Amino acid sequence: MARKTTSFRVGRVRGDLRGQVWYLTYHENGKRHRSRSGQDLAEAKKLASQINVQLETGVPAVLSFDSISIDDLRTRWLDHHEHVTRSSVHTIKRYRSATQHLINFLSQHRVPQVTAQFRLEHAEQFARYLRTLEVTPNGHPHSISRPLLDKGVLYILHCCRSLFNFAIKRRHLPPYSDNPFSNLEFDRMSVEDSKPIILFTSDQEMRFLQHCDDWQVSLFLTLMLTGMRPGEMTHLLLPDDVNFEQSVLQINNRPQLGWQIKTRIAREIPLVNELCQILQHITRERSSGTLLQRRQFAENTRQIENPIPANMERELQQRLVVQKTDEPTGLDRVARLRICRTVWRDAGAIKIEQVRSEFIRVCERAGLQGFTSPKMLRHLFATTLQDANVDPLIRCELMGHSTANQSSSHNLGMTANYTHTRFETKRKQLQFALDSRAATAFAREWLQQHA
């Protein structure tokens, strides 16, 4: 009787039978690997030959991976966004906050701490854990805690899925293993507790503006009639970003001054005549600085002479040099951004937080309940464009959303999230569509006969 084979060797790879399963053992970069192959001897030898060729040619072996702690994986992932993809400081801050929940979960529960052992059942346990959390809105320490909303849970799970996709690309998971968060299928999760977006009616819009003072009028009319994000409005500079002769606003990235558009997409927005005249009126004695300035900003006390973009960049470099002498280890991006804000401040920029506080103040004076965010005005702008049947592609361009991945002009993409169909618009368009139907004609005749 032939003796049963229990081991074999192919070059630098050794195969061993343990029970009914073949395991392949080899050394790569000074590290020992022992990987499960399967029960078939021929398949095990074939895989051993493939691995041996990869080892001889210096290509990473197909079964090799480097399991690391999830905490270490998170550190590498955040570092990748910081130094390679160069994500914005605010984006990295959100990623860090979201994935901190995963680290807290690992420390509080008896689940695997390493990438190779974290499975779908652990991801499901993490999702259940998120449902038990109570957080303060926007992380404000003085706010009342509330359960984590569905949108917050989804965002955290999306970040964790990206984290483990990074692990797969860096070979920190076993070969052919799935992302444990992808198998959760949380993209199908419904959002049941989101706060509905309530838009101003025409009467409410008029009442709001009537309770604004002159400074607030210029602020909120600009948001209402351009659809800009508040941060975009507060970073408009004279004379580069406004052309009164052509009635055009230009929203530009300013990376040299530490500010960029959320989507990085620069765009032009036509100004209606009334808004153009108001902006001309409030800037009639100025030719530089921010287009809209702080309420208490005094031109004769500003620290930057003629704050056009070039002079602001020069001032920033001088402040950075001074700060670097006090920081022997150099400035990180957060410290640099902090100094950039001082330059914008001295050019007259309005704090984004002040736009929201002023919006709430006016709503309280006007007796408008339930309105707390000026972002609603951007939703109102997008909805107004839909009511007027503005071309979908033009809507995306005016809103500053990407149009590169749209298969047709009817695919609104992100703009759809800001567009809310009014009931009156539905009624008008439905009436127009059904006017030519035979059933509608029959209904008219029937009413005439029974009048």
- Which residue in 235, 226, 271, 220 sits closest to 398, CA to CA? 226
Cβ atoms 34, 53 nearer than 8 A: no
Phi, psi values for residue 25, rounded to 5°: -120, 135
CA angle 273, 276, 277 (to 5 degrees): 90
Q: What is the pLDDT of residue 178?
A: 85
Separation of alpha carbons 90 and 250, rounded Å: 24
Which residues make Cβ contacts (< 8 Å) with residue 97, sequence separation at least 6?
139
Q: What is the pLDDT of residue 410?
A: 44
Q: What is the pLDDT of residue 408?
A: 42
Q: What is the pLDDT of residue 433?
A: 56
Q: What is the pLDDT of residue 325?
A: 65
Strands 267-270 and 289-290: unpaired
Q: What is the DSSP letter of 177?
A: P
Cβ atoms 173, 115 nearer than 8 A: yes
Q: Which residues of the chain have pLDDT under 70?
A: 1-3, 60-64, 138-141, 176, 193, 298-302, 325-330, 403-434, 436-444, 446-447, 451
Return the residue matching tokens 């072996």: 61
Q: What is the pLDDT of residue 97?
A: 94
DSSP state letters, 346-403: HTTPPPHHHHHHHHHHHHHHHT-TT---THHHHHHHHHHHHHTT--HHHHHHHHT---
b/e burial code for range 159-193 (CB count within 10 A of at least 16 → b) = bbbbbbebbbebebbbeeeebbbeebebeeeeeee
Q: What is the pLDDT of residue 409?
A: 39
* Amino acid identity for residue 232 in this structure: E
Q: What is the pLDDT of residue 407?
A: 42
Beta-carbon neighbour count of residue 9 at 10 Å? 13
CA angle 276, 259, 302 (to 5 degrees): 70
Q: What is the pLDDT of residue 381?
A: 86
Query: Cα 387 to chain center, whole Å?
Result: 27
Separation of alpha carbons 227 and 224, rounded Å: 6
Separation of alpha carbons 326 and 281, rounded Å: 43
